[in-house]
Amino acid sequence: MRPLCWLLLSGLIAVGERRAADAANILAITPIAAASHWNVMSSVLDVLVNRGHKITVVSPFPRKTPHENYTTIDVSKLVPFAIASPWDTVINVYKPSTMCIKFLNTCQQHMCHTAFGHPDLQNALRTRAYDLVITELLASRCDSYLASQLGIPHVAFVSSQMLTWYQDSFDNPSNPAYITTLNSPYPKPETFVQRFWNVIDYVRVYSYFKYVDVMATAIGRQYFGKNQPDVETIIRNISVVFLNTHSSFDLHKPLAANFKEIGGIHLKPAKPLPADLQEFIESAEHGVIYFNLGSVVRMEDMPIDLQNGIKEGFAGLPQKILWKLESNSTLYNQPKNVYTRKWYPQYDVIRHPNVKLFITHGGNSGVIEAISAGIPVLGIPIFFDQPRNLELFEHWGSGLWEDYSNFTKESFVGKIKKILGDPRFKENAVKLSNRFHDRPISPQETVAYWTEYVLRHNGAHHLKSQAINTNWFEYFSLDFLVLVSVLTTSLLYFLYNIMSIVKFW
């Protein structure tokens, strides 16, 4: 027995040593102080910490539970938070696609300046060797210079579906004839007019992003030296891109080999609801409706007609309403069937069988939670990818959406009653949930495997399309077409002259 025990013990020690040796030092930076984006990044980083890797992250969200392998360079006092914004800001800055790109670009470039000039990051870069950089693709490529400066692999993620303006950087096919841009109000272009405007929108946001992010190269060279390559070259160093979506919901489209879907990475196992909330939900004879328009929009600044229409609509329903506000104060003229609170454990709430409907703005995290929970959705989209997200529920027959700019109480209540009165909405939501969960490995396992794959294979650049190193005129075979056109024209001209001579004789 002793030799066997010794052999087993030796094996365990060897495994432990191998894991310790394989542990990587990972440097990460979040692009914006927004909870929805941080939820995805923190979930990715948690997976890697649990695998034994050491994380250093520049973030305005310090870790709540300290971990010996997790270090936060806290910038919470140095960057603005995108939360509870005035309604005018949401409509006039966040909603127009080019204005939104400009806003996000400004935020991310500010984060780059803050991070690159931070003494804690400068000290970390001087004193510690890193093996991998993790960033989020958003609206600037300035943070990509960290991987370039360190000469190490770079992994990125997108907290939504793939951003239209990054497609060409990775040669990830995005034909606007059948794949809509991120901010399109429909899931797929079905008419000539829709295809026309989809192409126009694709060219517009792509061109505007290139224009607005021109300073990314200057930022990289300012902090890391004038010999740094331009940002168009830097961004192509990214090895793998994780997408916070899943083709069971988002209409399937071609994905490059180095693109991996991790939709649901932020979902956590179920926890018991607080006792008062549990009693409120279970005592609702006609069920419960959960209402949350996210953390960006400040409810008190919404147009009065919209606020009153929602309240009056809820007041006439037999269901109880859970309404998420920015504070724990009650609403003016709050209906008796409405219960408000600053925060709810949203994912646990909508998984309760007596919660019948989720009314949402259509943010990507909430959309994924609704899909996973198998609950029907009524959407009130406001900006960015929200209209497209909510149109997908209508496409799959598990929800409807209401236009806030043409909002009427009658239409709002009518759609609520339609969803609750037609069992097909719930049946389709359950089907969608079943497809979403039916995958060979979990999002957490996907992140762990492919991140470590990149580490094992020194960047795994063999996964990337060779087209990213091809000139644009070669990519579209324009040089070949020009040559064929010249030869064809020359041949026709030659034949024309021959025919003229023959005819003359």
Secondary structure (H, E, C), 145-196 = HHHHHHCCCEEEEECCCCCHHHHHHHCCCCCCCCCCCCCCCCCCCCCHHHHH
Band (328; pLDDT cuts 50, 70, 90): confident
220-258 pLDDT per residue, tens: 999 999 999 999 999 999 999 999 999 999 888 888 889
Instruction: Answer for the pair 157, 244: CB distance below 8 angstroms, yes or no.
Output: yes
pLDDT computed for residue 10 by the predictor: 39
88-135 pLDDT per residue, tens: 777 777 778 888 899 999 999 999 999 999 999 999 999 999 999 999
User: In which domain, by residue range, is 391 found?
Assistant: 275-437
Q: Do 131 and 186 fall into the same domain?
A: yes
pLDDT computed for residue 48 by the predictor: 97
Q: Do 295 and 385 fall into the same domain?
A: yes
Please tell me whether residue 71 adopts helix, strand or coil conformation.
strand
Band (414; pLDDT cuts 50, 70, 90): very high
Q: Do 200 and 55 fall into the same domain?
A: yes
Instruction: Answer for the pair 157, 40: CB distance below 8 angstroms, yes or no.
Output: yes
Q: Is 7 inside a domain boundary?
A: no
The upper half-sphere exposure of residue 156, i.e. CA atoms within 13 Å in the direction of its Cβ, equals 28
Is residue 147 over pLDDT 50? yes
Band (476; pLDDT cuts 50, 70, 90): low
181-209 pLDDT per residue, tens: 888 888 888 899 999 999 999 999 999 99
360-387 pLDDT per residue, tens: 999 999 999 999 999 999 999 988 889 9
Q: Do 259 and 284 fall into the same domain?
A: no
- Among 54-68, 136-150, 255-269, 295-309, the minimum mean pLDDT is found in 295-309
Residue 160: CB atoms within 10 Å: 24
Choose one of 414, 437, 460: the last residue of a domain: 437
Q: Do 402 and 456 fall into the same domain?
A: no
Q: Do 186 and 253 fall into the same domain?
A: yes
Q: Is 186 inside a domain boundary?
A: yes
CATH number of the domain to which 170 belongs = 3.40.50.2000
Band (467; pLDDT cuts 50, 70, 90): low
Q: Do 43 and 67 fall into the same domain?
A: yes
Q: Is 153 inside a domain boundary?
A: yes
Q: How many angstroms separate the CA atoms of 385 and 395, rounded?
A: 15
Radius of gyration of the chain (CA): 26
Q: Do 309 and 184 fall into the same domain?
A: no
Task: Indicate the number of domains in the chain.
Answer: 2
Average pLDDT rounded to a whole number, residues 14-39: 76
Q: Do 293 and 423 fall into the same domain?
A: yes
Q: Do 80 and 189 fall into the same domain?
A: yes
Q: Is 10 inside a domain boundary?
A: no
Give pTM, 2 decimals. Answer: 0.87
